[in-house]
Amino acid sequence: MLKKLKPDIYVDDIYAIDYEALKHEGITGIIFDIDNTLIPYEESMPNDKIQELFDKLKEMEFVISFISNGPKKRVDKFNTRLNFYTRHRACKPLSVNLRKFIEEVNLEKNQVAIIGDQIFTDVIAGKCAGIKTILVRPIKPRNSIIEKIKRRLESKLLQKFNEMEMKR
Ligand SMILES: [Mg+2]
């Protein structure tokens, strides 16, 4: 059961990911979550550092998409200059929109990774779609009660994963 929630990779942020290594293992498609993975809730546009990263990923010929549970307006605004494939109100942890993307760009499951900040949406959706899952720390967690409960559960899970890792 726990294994179903364990991300394949867990790093601090999107800049700590070894994209060369991903490419090397055959990943050519990347699905990004937006909120708290790329920008905090109170921002709406990619900053220069993000722009630079995406320029690099484009150069590396990754097929990129933004699959967000957020509204159309927010996703479109973020994507204005980047112009990647997007899905808004994506209903993660359901994997339907991830699978649609994989099919539409003609990739195989083992060629795609999802990068997001939440186990209960991004990682589960990725697992259900059968793709590689990469968890990053949320840029700036929201302070609602539900969010706090989720974060506490997530940190408990991450602790468990670390223990599992050490036992191996
Ligand atoms: Mg998020």
128: CATH: 3.40.50.1000
pLDDT over threshold 70, residue 13: yes
Strand, helix or coil at 76?
A: helix
Å from CA of 155 to ligand 1 middle: 15
pLDDT reading at 140 higher than 90: no
Give distance in angstroms: CA of 43 to centre of ligand 1: 13
pLDDT of residue 129: 97
Give residue 116 CA to ligand 1 midpoint distance, Å. 6
Residue 124 · residue 5 · CB < 8 Å: yes
Average pLDDT over residues 2-22: 94
* Domain-located, residue 154: no
Does the structure show a pLDDT above 80 at 131? yes
Domain that holds residue 89: 2-141
- Structural domain tally of the chain? 1
Query: Hey, is 115 helix, strand or coil?
Result: strand
Question: What residues contact residue 101 under an 8 Å CB cut-off, 6+ apart?
Answer: 29, 31, 65, 67, 85, 87, 112
User: Considering the domain boundaries, does residue 96 fall inside one?
Assistant: yes
Average pLDDT for residues 46-73, to the nearest whole number?
Answer: 97
Residue 148: inside a domain: no
pLDDT band with cut points at 50, 70 and 90 for residue 168: low
Residue 112 phi/psi, 5° resolution? -125, 145
Does 148 score more than 90 pLDDT? no
Tokens of 140: 């700036």
Residue 63 in domain:
yes
pLDDT at 12: 95
Question: Is 160 inside any structural domain?
Answer: no
pLDDT (0 to 100) of residue 31: 98
Report CA(34)–ligand 1 centroid distance (Å): 6
C-alpha 167 to ligand 1 mean position (Å) = 30
Distance 118 CA to ligand 1 centre (A): 6
Report, as an integer, the average pLDDT of 123-134: 97
CA gap 94, 126 in Å, rounded: 9
Distance CA 168, CA 155 (A): 20
* Predicted confidence (pLDDT) at residue 166 exceeds the cutoff of 80: no
Please tell me the distance between residue 74's alpha carbon and the centre of ligand 1 in angstroms: 13
For residue range 18-43, what is the model confidence (pLDDT) as tens digits? 999 999 999 999 999 999 999 999 99
Q: Mean pLDDT check: name the lowest of 30-39, 128-137, 139-148.
A: 139-148
